[in-house]
Amino acid sequence: MRGFSSVPDYYFRGSHLYKDQYRVPLFACHIQVDLKNDSFPALRGLADSINLRFIHCDEALHHSLFPESKLERFLFELLEQLRVDSLVPDLYSGMKRNLHDRFEEWSLQYHHSGLTESSLGLLIYTIAQMVWSRLNNTPVIEETEDLLEATRAGISPLIGDELFQLKKTCCDQSEYAKYALSLAKKFRQFVQSESGAGDEDSAQEELEEIDLLAFSLLFNFDEAQEGVANASLGESKSWMESKQYYAVFNSDYDTNKSVDTLVRKELLAEYREELDTSIQQQGINIPAVSRRMKQMFAVPERDDWNYAQEQGYIDGRRLSQVISTPTERRIFKDTRFQPQADCILSFLVDCSGSMKQHAKNVAMMLDILCRAADRAGIQTEVLGFTTSTWSGGRPMQEWIKQGKPKNPGRMNEVSHLVFKTPEQTWRKSRQSIAALMKQDLFREGVDGEAIEWAAERLLQHNAQRRVLTVISDGSPMDSATNIANDAYYLDNHLKQVISQYEKNPDIDIYGLGVQLDLSTYYRNYTVLHMDEHFNNVTFGDILAMWQARRF
């Protein structure tokens, strides 16, 4: 896809395609991505389908013509994608074959899933097959040809003109859209008539219910994996009005503090004792975690010489043996390499109020990871971010006194916390890591600034690999900033910051979502189910995330 379109910023987050930091709108049902079940030829067809969309579709025009009805829009999206799929140059016979494989595999998956057993499912399947066949001058899928014959015979007289015009105008998007909209409208009328609903409002409600139930596997906008929520994401009006420039209303009250100065020593000792007891009960294989970490992050470095070798560099100290013992062959030496972990792992913890319920598990996880990294010779840093007050504090009061100027930027007093520095060993920082269990540190969260702070700290260290892992259970949340700007101001800044550091080759950034899918923000991420499965599998998931970097 990157090569064909000459767009180097294409990448996938989960099953969604992104360009730079923005999601590419691909909603046609037959080009939804399922990396677990789609065959390789089908994925090649998906890539070709997206490439053709990039070349032949004016997205601004397409979105300006969107119908209001959800079912009409569903069919309109499908018809537009089928149009661009048909515009393959004759030179690209391989692309034609890939697209055919993609559509055939989707068609058979649709049929075998049981969706063709309902009248609505059979109707949408029949229209898709008829349009595909007409635009590409190919027969319908042979396995289901008899199944759709009766439906095709029933609707052909009603949509025959639209089918003829779709083929005739497929090279002209605006003209094609007229007949696509007409066909989409007739489709909605078919469904409304079939549903037997009374007035228009109740019919629309029933249509939406049918749509959600019947096409939940096919028409995927922002569905999360089962049992896991998605991080919300939207566009901020304030952000756009300020030309994507992030502002801070007043930073005079911001703080960077070591937690040792915020928690009494006696309380830290209590937390540490509780943490040790809980970790012991988990039965985590820390040596195994350490070995895997060393294998992942270590690189071979010259350590010394291996002597008494049968090949390599001549060892001058053994040359006399050539004369005294002519049969002696072990007069060489070669370079000895030992794996050295030239790496720094930095953990940035979201200390917002919603993370209180996960504080103990996060503390255990970080303590185990830091201990394992210490054994592997890897430096670690543990940081946190929160706010000093709720609802804005002194900056909010000053903003009100100044007459509430428009788009003031971030309002609250941010507080950045240091639990462990890279120079400290795990033993020296045991007490400080336990401070994560002090729940009155958890208030609100300004994620974007915290990631900038943690990333810049990490970049100051000389290491071959620098890894920043952000642990969070939600989107940025600062009520004062939301009131003074809008709900997505901090979201948009966070997205900008992550995109900036994901492009920086000197740092790797990852998102650990606590019961949350963070794919809307991070290219490299995983979901932690710590409440239910806090065991060796949890650490295996984290290590697998670090190992499987996406670029």
Quote the Cα angle for 214-217-218, to 5°: 85
The answer to whether the CB of 414 falls within 8 A of the CB of 254 is yes
Q: What is the pLDDT of residues 309-329, one digit of tens each?
A: 888 888 888 888 888 888 888
Write down the pLDDT at residue 413.
Answer: 92
Do residues 422 and 457 make contact, with C-beta atoms less than 8 angstroms apart? no
| DSSP letter, residue 141 | P
| Tokens (6 digits) for 498 | 């992550």
- How many C-beta atoms lie closer than 10 Å to residue 400's C-beta? 11
Which domains does the chain carry? 2-223 (no CATH), 237-293+341-547 (3.40.50.410), 300-338 (no CATH)
CA-to-CA dists, residue 208 to 171, 214, 398, angstroms: 32, 10, 47
Tens-digit pLDDT profile for residues 477-502: 888 998 898 888 999 999 999 989 99
- Rounded to 5 degrees, what are φ and ψ at 377? 80, 25
* Burial tier of 62 (Cβ tally within 10 Å: 0-12, 13-18, 19+): middle
Summarize pLDDT for 43-97 with one digit per residue, the tens: 899 899 989 998 899 988 998 998 888 888 889 999 999 999 999 988 889 999 9
**293: its two tokens:** 């970490």
How long, in residues, is the chain? 551
Q: How would residue 474 be classed by pLDDT, with cut points 50, 70 and 90?
A: confident
Nearest-5° Cα angle at 151, 145 to 152: 65
CA angle, 241 then 247 then 249, to 5°: 120
- Dihedral sign for Cα atoms in the order 430, 432, 433, 438: positive
| pLDDT score of 300 | 64
Confidence of residue 216 (pLDDT cuts 50, 70, 90): very low
Residues sharing a CB contact under 8 Å with residue 515, sequence separation 6 or more, in sequence order:
228, 229, 358, 473, 527, 528, 529, 530, 531
User: Of 208, 251, 223, which Cα lies nearest the Cα of 27?
Assistant: 223
What does the alpha-carbon distance between residue 516 and residue 228 come to, in Å, rounded to a whole number?
Answer: 6
**Which token pair is 21?**
């930091």
pLDDT of residue 214: 41
Average the pLDDT over 371-397 and give the result: 92
- Start-end of H helices in 140-172: 145-168
In single-letter form, the type of residue at position 362 comes to V
* Whether pLDDT at 234 is above 70: no
CB count in 10 Å sphere of residue 427: 9
Q: Tell me the pLDDT tens digit for each residue of 332-382.
A: 888 877 667 788 999 999 999 889 988 999 999 999 999 999 998 899 999
Q: How far apart are CA 536 and CA 371, in angstroms?
A: 15
Count of beta carbons in the 10 Å neighbourhood of residue 332: 17
Q: What is the dihedral of CA 132, 133, 134, 139, to 10 degrees?
A: 170
Predicted model pTM = 0.69
The token duo for 162 is 């639209």
pLDDT given for residue 213 in this prediction:
39
Measured CA to CA, the distance from residue 311 to residue 218 in angstroms comes to 63
Summarised one tens digit per residue, pLDDT across range 149-172 is 999 999 999 999 999 999 999 999
Q: Describe the strand order of the beta sheet including 313-314 as a list of residue ranges.
A: 299-309, 332-340, 313-314
What pLDDT, on a 0 to 100 scale, did the predictor assign at position 324? 84
